[in-house]
Amino acid sequence: MEAFVVVAEFRVWPERLADFLEAAREDAQHSLADEPGCRQFDVVQPQGEDGTVVFYEVYDSRAAFDVHLQTPHLKRFRAAFPSFILEERPVRFLHRHYP
């Protein structure tokens, strides 16, 4: 089944990394628990890039992602994270064909 993939990447202040990761965990947990169209929400860090955090999100469709954009948990995350980050890189949208 095809899916809509979102990749968001952030550079985080080193001294705020734990706070950022806690806020990201809360957003990811609610996305998976409260949004039927959210299939996967991984919060990962590339090796060797201690201040970088990447979200890899998989949704049933663009419409399911649009629902995510209106959720209370995302609004809480977006309100909290500006003080945590050095840079928010452009969000990438992908179309997954397999699996």
pLDDT at 87: 96
pLDDT tens digits, one per residue of 20-79:
999 999 999 999 999 999 999 999 999 999 899 999 999 999 999 999 999 999 999 999
Cα separation, 20 vs 67, whole angstroms: 23
- For residues 10 and 88, the answer to whether their CB atoms sit within 8 Å is yes
Cα separation, 10 vs 85, whole angstroms: 7
- For residues 11 and 85, the answer to whether their CB atoms sit within 8 Å is yes
φ, ψ (nearest 5 deg) of residue 54 = -120, 135
Amino acid letter, residue 25:
R
Q: Which domains, ranges and CATH numbers included, belong to the chain?
A: 3-89 (3.30.70.100)
pTM of the model: 0.94
The two tokens of residue 65 are 């992602």
Asked if the model's pLDDT at residue 86 lies above 90, the reply is yes
Per-residue pLDDT band for 97 (boundaries 50, 70, 90) equals confident
